Amino acid sequence: MFTSGAFGYLADYIIWWMILLSLLIHTWCFFKFFPWKKHWKFGLGIGNGLVFLCLLGLVGMAGESYLRFVCVQTDSFGVSLPARRWFALYTKLNSLGCRDREWSPAKPPGVRRIAFVGDSFTYGWGIERPEGRFPDRIQARFDQRSPGTVEVMNVAKPGWDTGAELQPIQDMIGLYGVDEIVLCYVANDIEKLLPTTAEFKPTRPPDPQFFSMDSSCLVDYLYRRIYLPRIPSVKNYHDWLAEGFADEAIWRRHQQQLVAIIRHCQDHGVTLRVALLPFIRVNGGKLHVADLHATLRRFCEANNVPVVDLYGTIAELPPDQLVVNRNDSHPNERAHGLFGKAIWEAFYASP
């Protein structure tokens, strides 16, 4: 009962209720026993303050109860209790830790296998229905056009970058006989090459030093909603990425990572395609998605890799209509639908 789980530490929740009940009892005692005839002005001020605190406490406990027991949604970092509950409810992983069905190493005769390799965007972070993700939508189109001839595999994990994706690509080709790789590229795939300090770690926002976020879902929500967006490592995240791409040494190392994937596919006769997935919300003024994608397109074209730029599919639409929720900037089902349609038309519309 008192251990952390889908609803956090229930002992903390009980303590918050005890504090509120104590406040209500002391407020009642104050109005009951205070000598109003002698100090009514003073008592009125104290009484109003106590009533305000009681009302604030009731509202706070309503919010705490909703976030702790009812709310199920992701946040950008996946660390809040509602986000952890979302992952427990909506994600089922195969034996390789990917959010997809179990794959048979033996490829059925006459079947073409396409592996979509990426990070949380491809994984479907915040998408409750796996069939709402763009790889699954493309599978559905293949099934409609030529049933049983193509297997689309979702090979994605949150946090993967270009360097981490080489080994899974090698495994898909060597162990599962994949015929085609679609590298689902997001601009944060460069981030592990970028410098950080103890004070500036954009990939891991700081937790409070003097309060455990597991003690109160409401405090955790307010902290991540109000405070975190204002700290430099979060507010300047996209500028940090832009500076990384602008650094010639870092960009050169990143190109080497991409070339390693290109060469491995070429050496094994596997088709490689690239889908450039855009950020939907961008903070700061240094990262210009259209310009960055143009640079990446030129790189792919120079290496004879077919590429589709998905920025144009969402550029003219309001970001709030395309994100999972206001606390999470991952693409929602509508954005995935636009991505899937554009990828299909660019790569697979012609049989």
Give pLDDT, residue 207.
76
Phi/psi of residue 205, each to 5°?
Answer: -65, 150
pLDDT of residue 4: 56
Tokens at 212, concatenated: 């455990």
- Token pair, residue 112, equals 């073409």
Mark 210-243 as b/e (b = at least 16 C-beta within 10 Å): eeebeebbbbbbebbeeebeeeebbebbbbbbbe
pLDDT at 6: 67
Domain ranges of the chain: 10-70, 92-211+228-348
Strand intervals (E) in 157-303: 180-186, 271-277
Looking at residue 2, what is its pLDDT? 40
Do 158 and 79 form a contact (C-beta atoms < 8 A)?
A: no
Q: Are 343 and 152 in contact (CB under 8 A)?
A: no
* pLDDT attached to residue 5: 63
Q: Output the pLDDT for position 228.
A: 87
Looking at residue 292, its pLDDT comes to 97
- Mean pLDDT by groups of 10 residues along the chain of 351 residues: 62 92 96 87 92 97 94 91 93 96 94 98 97 98 97 97 98 97 98 90 78 83 89 92 97 98 98 98 94 98 98 96 95 98 96 73
Three state DSSP letters for 180-193: EEEEEEEHHHHHHH
Pick the CATH number of 92-211+228-348 from 3.40.50.300, 3.80.30.20, 3.40.50.1110, 3.40.50.1860: 3.40.50.1110
What does the alpha-carbon distance between residue 74 and residue 325 come to, in Å, rounded to a whole number? 8
Question: Measured over all CA atoms, what is the biggest interatomic distance in the chain, rounded to whole angstroms?
Answer: 94
pLDDT (0 to 100) of residue 280: 96
Contact 215, 12 (CB under 8 A): yes
The pairing of beta strand 150-156 with beta strand 112-118: parallel
